[in-house]
Structures are given as structure tokens and as C-alpha cells.
Amino acid sequence: APAAAMAQALAFMRWRARVDANDVEFVLAPARGLGEGATFAPGGKVFDQGLLGSHVLWVLDFDCCRKLSMDEEGVA
């Protein structure tokens, strides 16, 4: 499940946000307690993968990303 979420995030960055996703980092982290008032971003998901327990996927480090032109040069 986390691999599918990573693929969706990369596809979103390339085709919707139009950035190259250069050097972005995916980080698995323990899920925070879901106490009163806790919210997740739309579409956010807590993964439960046996040994890892409940965890979430964060995407970090966008400082090397650049705009991606949607022509042959940018998409190739």
C-alpha cells in the first residue's frame, strides 16, 4: 500500500503539479494518535502493515524540484 501511495504522489507531482520531483524524499513515520480534533489531509491514509504497525507516509524536501514543461523536452 505505501508503494502505491508513493506512485500516486509521483504521478501527481509530474502530471498535475508539473514539477520534476527531483530529490523528494518519502518517509514512513508512526501515525499520531487520532484524538479529538485530529485531522488528515483530504485523501490522507493511515497504513497498518503488521510489523510496522500504524504509520503514515510523508513527502519531504522539495528544494531541488523544478517546473516541468509539458512539451517533448520537459516530459521526455
Domain limits of the chain?
2-32+44-75
pLDDT at 17 over 90: yes
Tell me how far apart the alpha carbons of residues 11 and 20 are, in angstroms, rounded to a whole number. Answer: 10
Enter the pTM of the model. 0.71
Segment 8-36 shows an average pLDDT of: 85
Answer yes or no: are the C-beta atoms of 54 and 31 closer than 8 Å: yes
d(CA 49, CA 1): 9
